[in-house]
Structure 1
């Protein structure tokens, strides 16, 4: 038995020799005299006993391994065996989750650091098998402790900003440079060519060409419809090419059997609303759409809570404003960028602002790390 188990719940977790932790502390944490069940999930050890679950990860910042993701979140990367899946997908009906806590620890250079308990925030499954699980630590980690259990990644290659200089000169080049810089190539897919292909504006044809090897370019939150899925509205007057992820609104272009306009106006519309023109024509809209989706689908995020105008100015001070008129009539949105980072800032009333930043590498969030911002999530 462990005589001083209370020290494991101190503000600064105890560093315990790994062998001592395994022999003495693990049985206390998971409960019971029988040998607990042990599993390996995404490089982490999962120990299950009658009283609790314990997840022990290696100190790592690699996104493909289970471990601490930021000061408040721990990620378990599957696939996970059935007992682990069943526990993490939710306690049985009527059972208080606090009666069967989930403990988190990390091995660091021969020691185990106990980080306290965590609760499942979200989990994903495929065919009943847990593929990923995000847990929220009940006690956020200090920066010093975070750097121990999730060592900083060495600066990696991040996309540069060459495209930014072409935004108001050669938008075709700007779109290609941004998309090819942000998204890694995948195996090319041959998309079937529909009857509308020859009647599409050049900007859409270019995006479809880029998406053959980079399908993420068509969006992760909202979507540019694949060319075979394009459709006209109920009057047959507008070609719907972009849709919101829940179908709440869409973007369209005037539909014509003649030669398409080179850079047509993009029209935004709620399901039962009036058509509203986007402020940028198609060439600028596609850059804005690409920036928005890149930030929304990024691996590393920085999400502040609601901001005032002075706070936005402070937050974006080290970034570059993309010189385009506001995107999205619902909540006019501007974009700010740095190498490997895209931030969009929107406001419905000009007084309260919402920002979302996404990055291709954890180090790309460094310009934001020391700002006095109240973060809802910060992966740097």
Structure 2
């Protein structure tokens, strides 16, 4: 019955006349507060009414395609969104989304659950995708833009060609906020490693994200040789499909050794950058993968990639990752990596520290699968 609801309704009128229409008026609907939003449940549907806000810690509109519900959520909300363990399946009932803007309620349409997290059976977070994306004008009304935060600068980029250690330090300390320092349990076990890895472990004491979000650099205590006893494994893919290693020697490490990429049953392949450059690439890749704000297009052609990266700065390193050679492009607070297996179709992943850092990509004629700006 959502087609009967005007887009903008005075709040009192919406609560009195339209809420019963959307969720079913045969019984008194149940109301719950979840992460700053009001969730109304009735026999015919669910209604989520959020406040107009861009705060990431509150339930509300996240992007033109997505709304987020931040838990913990009470059991009736959890069961309606994720399905009850028994009884009638209510998952097919519509989920309506609305936002309070001043004294009005803006009805945004319906959405479907795309991803949800639980802890001990309690809904902790839920992402819902709008069935019809919002226009930029409407998005700015229901998710008012916040003043841009301070963005990490690009001072590190000037050191990539001449001083990899300085570039790595400047990038990591600029991208990741520090956490309380803890004594490293691996300080003795990494003393025999090349200086680049020792530096990364030191930085990770206050910035643990530097060891990876998607893939990871192993803690010093977990370093081990490969099954042949020839390579020291220091980095692994998140599902264990491949690993990175250094040639194992009892004579002490090279200053800047070759990094070897290997699937378990395949011959090792040398990364094009030695360890010091590889660690910059690894850090850029993981920073973009773990960023709070993402821009993910569908596969692009070479001309589209050129258009997307035109306003960005290329990172002057040889391609990363032999499986799908990957190049990096950056702007303040933004890392974009571009990968291709065949040189014709390209995968793009852009990660940013703040929504405003995605502004260079906002006006491009690109079909986005997700755009958090």
The gaps in structure 1 that reach 5 residues or longer are none
1:11-40 C-alpha deviation (Å, 9 max, x unpaired): xx5110111111111111111333211111
CA shift for structure 1 position 182: 0.5
CA shift for structure 1 position 92: 6.3
Match of 2:227 among 227, 231, 234: 234
Q: Which residue of structure 2 aligns with residue 123 of structure 1?
A: 116
Q: Does 1:264 align with 2:257?
A: yes
- For structure 1, which segment, 277-286 or 192-201, has the greater mean C-alpha deviation from structure 2 after superposition? 192-201
Q: Which residue of structure 2 aligns with residue 307 of structure 1?
A: 300
CA shift for structure 1 position 99: 4.4
CA shift for structure 1 position 97: 5.6
- For structure 1, which segment, 180-189 or 31-40, has the greater mean C-alpha deviation from structure 2 after superposition? 31-40
Match of 2:73 among 60, 80, 83: 80
CA shift for structure 1 position 313: 0.4
Q: Per the alignment, do residues 237 and 55 of structure 1 end up closer, same or farther by CA in structure 2, a change over 3 Å counting?
A: same
Q: Does 1:362 align with 2:359?
A: no
- For structure 1, which segment, 224-233 or 339-348, has the greater mean C-alpha deviation from structure 2 after superposition? 224-233
Q: Per the alignment, do residues 234 and 98 of structure 1 end up closer, same or farther by CA in structure 2, a change over 3 Å counting?
A: closer
Q: Does 1:105 align with 2:102?
A: no
Q: Which residue of structure 2 aligns with residue 49 of structure 1?
A: 42
Q: Which residue of structure 2 aligns with residue 255 of structure 1?
A: 248
Q: Which residue of structure 2 aligns with residue 6 of structure 1?
A: 3
The secondary structure found in structure 2 opposite 1:197 is coil
Q: Per the alignment, do residues 105 and 229 of structure 1 end up closer, same or farther by CA in structure 2, a change over 3 Å counting?
A: same
- For structure 1, which segment, 33-42 or 104-113, has the greater mean C-alpha deviation from structure 2 after superposition? 33-42
CA shift for structure 1 position 363: 0.3
The gaps in structure 2 that reach 5 residues or longer are none
Aligned residues: 373
> 2:2–2:109: 8 Å Cα contact kept in structure 1?
no
Q: Which residue of structure 2 aligns with residue 132 of structure 1?
A: 125
Alignment of 1:158-169 (within 5 A): 158-169=151-162
Task: Determine the C-alpha separation between the residues in 2 that align with 1:342 and 1:48.
Answer: 41
> 2:81–2:91: 8 Å Cα contact kept in structure 1?
no
Alignment of 1:172-211 (within 5 A): 172-193=165-186, 196-211=189-204
Task: Determine the C-alpha separation between the residues in 2 that align with 1:118 and 1:309.
Answer: 34
Q: Which residue of structure 1 aligns with residue 63 of structure 2?
A: 70
The secondary structure found in structure 1 opposite 2:295 is strand
Q: Does 1:141 align with 2:134?
A: yes
Match of 2:368 among 369, 375, 378: 375
TM-score scaled by structure 2? Answer: 0.97
